[in-house]
A and B are shown apart, each in its own frame.
Chain A
Amino acid sequence: MNAPTSDTTERSERAGRPAATPRGPAPARRRRPADLRTWGAFALLTAPMLIGLGIFKYVAIGWSFLLSLSNAHGTIALGQWVGLDNYRQLLSDDTFRSSLGKILLFTVFIVPVTFVVSLGLALLVNRVRRGRAVVRTAFLIPTAVSYVAASLVWKMCLFNGLPAGIANMVGGWFGMDSVPWLQTTDPPLYWIVLVTLRLWLQVGFYMVLFLAGLQAIPKEIDEAAALDGATGFRKLMRITLPMLRNTSVAVLMLQFIAAFQAFDEFYNLFSSGLSGTATAPVQTPLVYLYNTSMGSQNYGLGSAGAFVLTALIVAVTLIQGRLTGFGKGEE
């Protein structure tokens, strides 16, 4: 696929910057056509991955797409074609539509908050001189905790509805009455529980991304800014943030994709043994999908939902990428 003569750089020149000729084969093999052994090696090294992705991505998506056009109650067999009925049913279902509204609200909340907090933590940790490792560990270690365990602590301890719950106890010091945090829908106090939980679990991860971005800012730029008298907030807006542009775009995208697929904490905070998630004040699209495909075993409708959500996520990611120019300047 690479023209053998395209690479005319001197070897010694190339040696210093291996990344400059990314797609070029190593020099010694330049004139060798792909022989059987080359093919064999390539096949052996890539086959497990290609077959795995083929089955679990391509076959799965293709099959599921056909299912989304069939009546598939309690079966994953194809045959009862119903055209776009599943999509029609899905989009006219109030539960699904409200789940889309709720997840948009959640995303609009959690993405900027996580962004600002993780950036703030990174700036803070970057300035810490003594004990930086300890502080970084403290912020990062919640990343090791699962949503299930965090939901448990948030539901049963921090935001326990009893007066012994931490939030209620702290509120009590200020003369507030105890409230059932997860059940109160007016005002929707459960958002506080959801947002703080995800913040605690995630900001450490994004902080590390920002820290890596901060450390990649050349020292000279920092020094030049200091010479020009740029400090504090001005330096942050004029120098630091523009230099963190790529990191910021990546963080925003990762956050959006993660928020839109929220499931774990919604399931574990609101589900109860008797009624499942039926009494939950808020369902995410994934909770809805889980209930339709695993609860009612309607795989046709579940597949249709998977496609609608995938399309939404891909569309938003592409628009976001276009708006922010992500990927520009890459190979």
Chain B
Amino acid sequence: MTTLFKRLRPGARGLLVGVLTVLFLTPFYLMLRNALMDTKGLTSPEWTWWPAQMHWENFTALFSDPTLHMGQALGNSLLIAGITAPLSTLLASAAGYAFARIPVPGRGALLALVIATLMIPGSVTFVPTFVVVGSMGGVNTLWGVIVPGLFNPFAVLLFRNFYLQFPAEIEEAGRLDGLGWLGLYRRIALPSSGAMLASLGALAFIDSWNAFLWPLVIGQDPSSWTAQIALSTFLTSQTINLPGLFAGAVVTIAPLVAMFLIAQRYIVEGIATTGLKG
């Protein structure tokens, strides 16, 4: 029986991989197909593989409808993720370097304070964060969406581990050239952390772009909506515009899918680092 199983396996495995691949990609196909159809075609029980006539106007309607705020929301999301990803990664790298390399008394205690915050689960504490950001006047502002997401203790820990394994000899050479701590970080350590910065930066961009609960809590006014909030408001509104909804889904995920295809190597590395060291 085992031999039979073995003989069947290569073919069966190939088939399984093929079926699963198609299954995983199906939602993307459906999204695109539905975004290009009209309501009548979408609700008809007759199945169409691809619209005979493509309704591109679904996309233009998305941006011309003033109640959806889709254009502004996409702009906000680009700005928010565009600031959060590089800045949060850079802050973590700087702190991680100092914790790994610069010997000052009390460093261990400070690091323990950073690590302790890892125990606090991220989303559950949106009430405390709202209290603080609200008291600082951050409700309905873009900075209110951005700032609490800039401090990632986990990334500090990952960067610290990374710099601990960084060969000290290279830094010594820099020190002989007269570089101080800041110079060593800026001229030697930081430029050598490109892959790490790209990996964690890409993940931070994805997280920031797809964040939902915090932007929902802090940005109640359409002027501070992110793309996710605009799409969610559209989805949960009382009138249902099916093709419009799918067009909305396509425009909100397109930037990330594009980034994914371009930077997949870094994303895979990022996931592997963050998951395994956690």
Contact = CB atoms under 8 A, between A and B. Distances in A.
A1 B107 CA distance: 8
Given A135-B17, A306-B128, A153 B31 contact: yes
A180 B170 CA distance: 64
B104 A39 contact: yes
Given A138-B24, A306-B128, A18 B235 contact: no
A305 B121 CA distance: 13
Given A157-B34, A257-B121, A208 B272 contact: yes
B181 A67 contact: no
A49 B235 contact: no
Contacts of A263: 123, 212-213
A90 B242 CA distance: 39
A185 interface: no
B173 to A, nearest CB: 10
Contacts of A135: 17, 21
Contacts of A302: 127
A209 B276 contact: yes
Contacts of A209: 271-272, 275-276
Contacts of B110: 46, 50
B101 interface: yes
Interface string B106-130: 1110100110010111111111111
A256 B29 CA distance: 31
Contacts of B204: none
Contacts of B180: 37, 41
Given A76-B134, A264-B212, A273 B237 contact: yes
Contacts of B175: 26, 28-29
Contact of A121 (B5, B20, B34, B242): B20
A151 B34 CA distance: 15
Contact of B131 (A63, A169, A212): A63
Contacts of A134: 21
A60 B132 contact: yes
Interface in B228-260: 228, 231-232, 235-238, 240, 242, 245-246, 248-249, 252-253, 256-257, 259-260
A2 interface: yes
A52 interface: yes
Contact of A76 (B131, B259, B272): B131
Interface bracket on B:
35 or more
Interface string B215-234: 01100000000001001100
A151 B235 contact: yes
A9 interface: no
Contact of A271 (B104, B127, B236, B275): B236
B201 interface: no
Contact of A1 (B105, B150, B232): B105
A48 B91 contact: yes
Contact of A272 (B47, B167, B238): B238
A42 B268 contact: no
Contact of A314 (B119, B213, B217): B119
B252 A41 contact: no
Residue with the highest number of chain B CB atoms closer than 10 Å, among A145, A268, A299: A145
Interface residues of A, number: 114
Contact of B113 (A26, A53, A148): A53
B268 to A, nearest CB: 6
Contacts of A253: 278
Q: Is chain A's interface secondary structure helix, strand, loop, or mixed overall?
A: helix
B43 A162 contact: yes
B185 to A, nearest CB: 7
B130 to A, nearest CB: 7
Contacts of A45: 94-95, 97-98, 102, 181-182, 185
B127 A293 contact: yes
B166 interface: yes
Contacts of A141: 24-25, 28, 257, 260-261
Residue with the highest number of chain A CB atoms closer than 10 Å, among B117, B120, B165, B231: B120
The 7 closest A-B pairs by CB, nearest first: A64-B128, A41-B181, A52-B151, A60-B128, A212-B272, A45-B98, A49-B95
27 contacts: A2-B103, A15-B167, A41-B180, A42-B181, A49-B91, A55-B132, A63-B131, A76-B134, A124-B17, A128-B13, A145-B256, A148-B210, A152-B248, A156-B235, A158-B27, A162-B45, A205-B275, A211-B272, A260-B121, A264-B212, A264-B213, A286-B123, A286-B213, A290-B216, A293-B127, A303-B127, A310-B121
Interface of B: 2, 5-6, 13, 16-17, 20-21, 24-25, 27-28, 30-31, 34, 42-45, 47, 91-92, 94-95, 97-99, 101-108, 110, 113-114, 117, 119-135, 147-148, 150-151, 153, 156, 164-169, 171-172, 175, 180-182, 185, 206, 209-210, 212-213, 216-217, 228, 231-232, 235-238, 240, 242, 245-246, 248-249, 252-253, 256-257, 259-261, 264, 267-268, 271-272, 275-276, 278
